[in-house]
Amino acid sequence: MQTDRLPLIGKRDNPEHLYLIALLFLCAAVFFYKLDRLPFIGPDEPRYAEVAREMYTTGDWITPRLGGIRWFEKPALTYWLLATGYAVFGENEFGARFGVAVVSTFAALLLYFFGRRARSARFGYLSAAALVTCGMWPGFARGVTCDLPLTVAIEIALLSFFLWESKESEAGGAGWFWYVFCFALGLATLAKGLVGVVLPMMIIAPYLILTGAWRSLLKPRLIIFGALIFLGTAAVWYAPVIARNGREFIDEFFVGHHFRRYLSNKYRHPQPFYFFSLVAVAGSFPWSFYLLSSVGHTLVRLGRRLSRSKIGRSGVGEDLRVEARSSGSTEGRGSARRSALTIILGLLRETLVCPADRLNLLLLLWIAVPIVFFSFSGSKLPGYILPVFPAIALMVGGELERWWSDESRPPMAPQFLTALLTAAAGISAGVLLQRELGMSARDAWLMGSIAVLASAVHVGLLFFKNGRVAALYMPIGLAVIVIASAHLVFPVLGNRESLKKLSLAALEAARPYERLVFLINNDQSINFYATGLPLRDDRSELVAVKSTEEIATLIEAGRSQSLLIMSPKRWGDGLMKSANLRVEKIGEQEFNAGCSPGCDWVLLRAQKSVAVAQP
């Protein structure tokens, strides 16, 4: 291979700063470009944005509120990030999303510097670029979500722990990595609660057992100071919020949104047991084939090292049979089993002495443990396993770097299949964007053609240059696809997934003291764009009525003698035929091209009909 002509990969005078510049370009394009192009979408983003705005405007940084009502679903760290964006850029979509995008960029930079320390600047860049461009990460990085700050805090914790445990910088003093680890656990707890400490501990425990590194923790000074750092960090918010709100906070936050969410389907997010395995593979698109190849390659390599170790020639079985025969009692057989476990664990530790294998073991556990843990949860959402994606990115980066290895030529299948998958996604987009989002045929096929063209360039570089050039190009091609999506897809997607326009129309049309309710179905978009308009229950849930009688009762109880109603058109059309209500249509928003007009949304005003006396 002609390595001396390839960009960024010369064996001598490798310009590492160019990797860093390329990574910053990717982050700017994927995370920040047209960050405000999309209105707040989904049930969570408008609510989190509004809670942060109420913190910012009221100056109460402790008690979260939604519509003025105490709301204890998530901790405060994400709200503080959003409020910082409001202070700099104003109370808008860009300001709300800016903090999360910065944290996402920090996660990519952290992977780069970790990879450079662990192996090479090229490995760090490839890993970070895979993280920035894998399908699920940009979606969360460009949104208002608690899952991404949690993920970055866990990433800091686990990478710091590995650097501390491996003693790679012992000559310069690696002890401070332990304290960074403990601080990061506190941040993770501030980001999303107990899972921020439980998940890393569940990953670290089997790693310590398999590598025999648990003895390094048997130092009182480490435990005491580490615990103080963790508790001190978490107490920044948990101490005052519990002091102010007491039992109400504990029941709602810990009992309701931790234990009940995990153990039951109270929040109506059921999925099959294998759901998160599919999310991990699909969410790493278009790097899915690299992930599968890397996992398989790692398991095979660990297995070969294990088979070449003493376990195959140590005579373990014969020694244990001799021991069992010497004591035929139950105690003897139990002793033999314990001896077998001790010997096998010892041989596993011997096998995993190599730092690269220890890192691969940590990455495998980092991916497997959250997937298994949340597979048993009664409530399942894709964001629950977002913390596995930094580990996925490191494994993908390791697989990509095989193109620079002198040991063997890596298979071309992952590169070719990745290009094929990207092209197939582009062709599917040309059809689905028209059918599901109502995009024009021109824009839909332009979007699909960009993806197909990016894939074709990748294949051309793969066959006419080599895999190294193709691997370096691919993240840039994916960034171009994100930029095109911001122009072509986001405006249509915003109309499909957000009622921003109708919410602003309701705010403008509202009379003094007039309130709003939903008919049958509600939509959370209104939480940011017209927060004070809708009626809420004592948990700040939007009120949705189901009958004209309920509407008439609310009108009588109100001060304006009228009520705004937001509803899917199929329900609104029936309401307009009501005999005991006088209903007028104020506005309409096309919501889903696939089922329009029945599922479009309408804004109505209802008043009680005045009976005309007969002469």
What does residue 461 show for φ and ψ, rounded to 5 degrees? -65, -35
Q: What pLDDT band is residue 201 in, cutting at 50, 70 and 90?
A: very high
pLDDT digit string, tens, across residues 558-602? 888 899 999 998 888 888 888 888 999 999 987 766 666 767 899
> What is the Cα 382 distance to its own chain's centre?
7
pLDDT value at position 114? 96
Please report the sign of the dihedral spanned by the C-alpha atoms of residue 379, residue 380, residue 383, residue 385: positive
Share of the chain above pLDDT 70, in %: 84
Q: What angle do CA 213, 214, 217 make, to 5 degrees?
A: 110
Helix (H, G, I), strand (E, B) or coil at 603: strand
pLDDT value at position 501? 92
Which has the minimum average pLDDT: 47-61, 223-237, 410-424? 410-424
Number of helices and strands in the chain (H, E): 25, 7
Indicate if the pLDDT at residue 554 is higher than 60: yes
Contact between residue 388 and residue 396 where contact means Cβ atoms under 8 Å apart = no
Three-state SS for 539-578 is CCCECEECCHHHHHHHHHHCCCCCEEEEEEHHHHHHHCCC
Indicate if the pLDDT at residue 229 is higher than 90: yes
pLDDT value at position 121? 93
Q: Residue holding tokens 């760090």? A: 124
For 347-386, the DSSP string reads HHHHHT-SHHHHHHHHHHHHHHHHHHHHHT-SS--GGGGG
Average pLDDT value over all residues in the chain: 85
What does residue 450 show for φ and ψ, rounded to 5 degrees? -65, -40
What does residue 537 show for φ and ψ, rounded to 5 degrees? -90, -175
Q: What pLDDT band is residue 320 in, cutting at 50, 70 and 90?
A: very low
Higher pLDDT, 550 or 611: 550
pLDDT value at position 408? 61
pLDDT digit string, tens, across residues 96-119? 999 999 999 999 999 999 999 988
pLDDT digit string, tens, across residues 341-393? 554 455 555 545 566 678 989 999 999 999 999 999 888 899 999 999 999 99
| Calpha distance 235→223 (Å, rounded) | 18
- Give the bridge partners for 585, in sequence order: 604
Domain ranges in the chain are 411-495, 499-608
Please report the sign of the dihedral spanned by the C-alpha atoms of residue 96, residue 99, residue 104, residue 108: positive
Q: What pLDDT band is residue 535 in, cutting at 50, 70 and 90?
A: very high
pLDDT value at position 12? 40
Indicate if the pLDDT at residue 339 is higher than 70: no
